[in-house]
Amino acid sequence: MTTITNTSASVSQEPWERYKHQPHWRNNEDEFEAAKLGMWIFLATELLLFSGFFCAYFILRMFYPESFRGASEHYLDWRIGAINTIVLLVSSWNVAVAVRAAQVGKKKLLAFNVFFASLLGIVFLVLKIGLEYIPKIHKGELPGGNFWFAGAHGYDPSAYDPMFLSVYWVSTATHGFHVLVGVLLLWWIGWRALKGHFGPKHYTAVENIGLYWHLVDIIWIFLFPLLYLVP
Partner 1 sequence: MTTIPADTAGAHGHDDHNVSYLHPKGGFWVTVWDWMTTVDHKKIGVMYLFAILTSFFIGGVAALSVRLELFEPMQTVKNAAGDSVVTGMWPFSTLAAYNRAFTLHGAVMVFMFIIPSIPAALGNFVLPLMLGAKDVAFPRLNLFSWYIYVIGSIFAVSAILLGGVDTGWTFYTPYSESAADYGRVIAMTMGAFILGFSSIFTGLNFIVTVHKLRAPGMGWFDMPLFVWAIYATAIIQVLATPVLGVTLLLLTIENIFKIGIFNPALGGDPVLYQHFFWFYSHPAVYIMILPGMGIMSELIATHARKPIFGYKFVAFSSMGIAAVSFIVWGHHMFTAQGELASVIFSGLTFLVAIPSAIKVFNWTATLYKGSISINTPMVYALAFLFEFSIGGLTGLFLGALATDMHLHDTYFVVAHFHYVMMGGTVMAFLGGIHHWWPKMFGKMYNERWALVGAALVFIGFNMTFFTQFILGSKGMPRRYGTYVPEFQTLHQISTIGSMILGLGMLVHLAVFVLSLAAGKKAPPNPWGSLSMEWETASPPIEHNFPHEPVVRHGPYDYDNTVPPQTKPGEFPLPAPDPNAQGH
Chain positions contacting partner 1, by CB under 8 A: 22-25, 30, 33-34, 37-38, 41-42, 44-46, 48-53, 55-56, 59-60, 63-64, 142-146, 159-160, 162-163, 166-167, 169-170, 174
Residue 51 beta carbon to partner 1: minimum distance, rounded to whole angstroms = 7
Of 70 and 120, nearer to partner 1 (C-beta) is 70
DSSP assignment string, 34-84: HHHHHHHHHHHHHHHHHHHHHHHHHHHHHH-HHHHHHHHHHH--HHHHHHH
Cβ proximity to partner 1, 108 vs 151, nearer residue = 151
Please state the closest distance from residue 53 (CB atom) to partner 1, in A: 7
Cβ proximity to partner 1: between 44 and 86 the closer is 44
For partner 1, the closer of residues 24 and 138 by Cβ is: 24
Q: To the nearest whole angstrom, how small is the minimum distance from the Cβ of residue 83 to partner 1?
A: 27
For the chain, the 3-state helix, strand and coil shares in percent, each to the nearest 5, are: 75, 0, 25
CB of 107 to partner 1, least distance (A): 26
